[in-house]
Structure 1
Amino acid sequence: MARWEPNAPERLAQAALDLFAERGYENTTVIDIAQRAGLGKTTFFRHFQDKREVLFGRGTTNDLLAEAIAAAPPTAGPLEAVAHALDAAGRQVFTSARREFTVRRQAVIAANPELQEREALKNLTLIASMAEALERRGVPELTARVAAELGALASSIAYERWSRTGDGDDFGEIARRALDDVRAATPLC
């Protein structure tokens, strides 16, 4: 691939994922990734801080969820605002075009304790972002935190269901059903 071709971050992410699957995360270097993508090490570091960030991005999902919560209709309650954010994630992050990449990414993370820890930290920041966005809407702190935690649980359940389906099921729809399931289970606690 020529160095001048567009989409360097996507090329680097795909190359990294291929190499992690072939060699293992620990046995893959930044230079390996850049070479596989047909790019230089400098280009890699222009887009990613280290090889972990190829899998975890740069916090754009946090911003997406917070913006979608802010954009939810003013009459939306906390969980409906979270559902609005999950819909946005389905339209922009968990698309059918990215399903294969996302599933392969999760397999690499599952095989590496260091990456599992990083994934857990990422999930905590997502919850905090959603809770803060809800608080900016005027939701009391405890209610915002509970709604964000329930939204994260629903998102996790939805991700598992979405990644197992091979058809064109929309993540947003799956997430809304998962949120309904979580909501239905809440009175049992």
Structure 2
Amino acid sequence: MGRWEPNARGRLGRAAMELYVERGFDQTTVADIAERAGLTKRTFFRHYADKRDVLFVGTALLTEVVARAVTEAPADLSPVAATTRALEAAAGIVQERPEDVRMRQAVIDAHVELQERELVKLAALATDLAAALQARGVDVWTARLLAETGLAAFRVAFARWIADNAEGPLTRLVTDSMEELAAAVAKP
């Protein structure tokens, strides 16, 4: 495939994921990725800041989807229900490409630095979710508590989904996790 072919970003991302799985993250260079995609290193750097960026490229979209779900939730929806709706929206994005998500998670699970970056990404997502809840009138500490516990429930649902080979809807597991959390809190 020549350099003039469309979707350079997608080809680079696919090549990177394949190489990370085949060789490991540390053993894969930007030059390897560009070569596999039929592109140049220069083209790689037009699309990604570094080889880690390939794994975290969807962060902005996820943040936008979560914030929009909270903002567009009906005014009479409880803060917990608005949080659940936002996390279900995030799950909807994640579950669209289960094979890619499984590969991505395998790469992250095998590399401590990438695990740390994933935690930073999730912390930023929690901050943005809390801000969206505050914009709905939820007080700062309640918003933060809902965002942090909601993201914890999301992470548990995601881990279940990955353990089940990303079969079925992640959105359902997120809903179940939020319901399990509510039930656990309600128990005496």
Q: CA deviation at 1:144?
A: 0.3
Aligned partner of 2:128 in structure 1 is 129
Aligned partner of 1:89 in structure 2 is 90
Q: CA deviation at 1:124?
A: 0.6
- CA-to-partner distance for each residue in 1:87-133, whole Å, 9 max, x for gaps? 222332322xx111111111111111111111111111011010011
> How many residues matched?
187
Counterpart CA distance in 2 for 1:48 and 1:24 is: 19
Aligned partner of 2:139 in structure 1 is 140
> TM-score scaled to structure 2, two decimals?
0.91
Counterpart CA distance in 2 for 1:106 and 1:84 is: 24
Q: CA deviation at 1:184?
A: 1.5
Counterpart CA distance in 2 for 1:3 and 1:76 is: 50
Identity %: 44
Secondary structure, counterpart of 2:159 in structure 1: helix
Counterpart CA distance in 2 for 1:166 and 1:21 is: 16
Counterpart CA distance in 1 for 2:183 and 2:14 is: 39
Q: Which runs of 5+ in 2 are unaligned?
A: none
Q: CA deviation at 1:166?
A: 4.6
Letter in 2 for 1:77: S
> TM-score scaled to structure 1, two decimals?
0.91
Aligned partner of 2:70 in structure 1 is 69
RMSD: 1.8
Letter in 1 for 2:111: N
Letter in 1 for 2:177: A
Q: CA deviation at 1:32?
A: 1.0
Distance change >3 Å, CA 167–CA 45, structure 1 → 2: closer
Aligned partner of 1:11 in structure 2 is 11
Q: CA deviation at 1:63?
A: 1.6
Counterpart CA distance in 2 for 1:167 and 1:142 is: 34
Q: CA deviation at 1:167?
A: 7.2
Aligned partner of 1:181 in structure 2 is 180
Q: Which runs of 5+ in 1 are unaligned?
A: none
Distance change >3 Å, CA 89–CA 37, structure 1 → 2: same
Letter in 2 for 1:47: H
Q: How does 1:19-98 map to 2 (within 5 A)?
A: 19-57=19-57, 58-95=59-96, 98=97
Counterpart CA distance in 2 for 1:4 and 1:91 is: 33
Secondary structure, counterpart of 2:20 in structure 1: helix
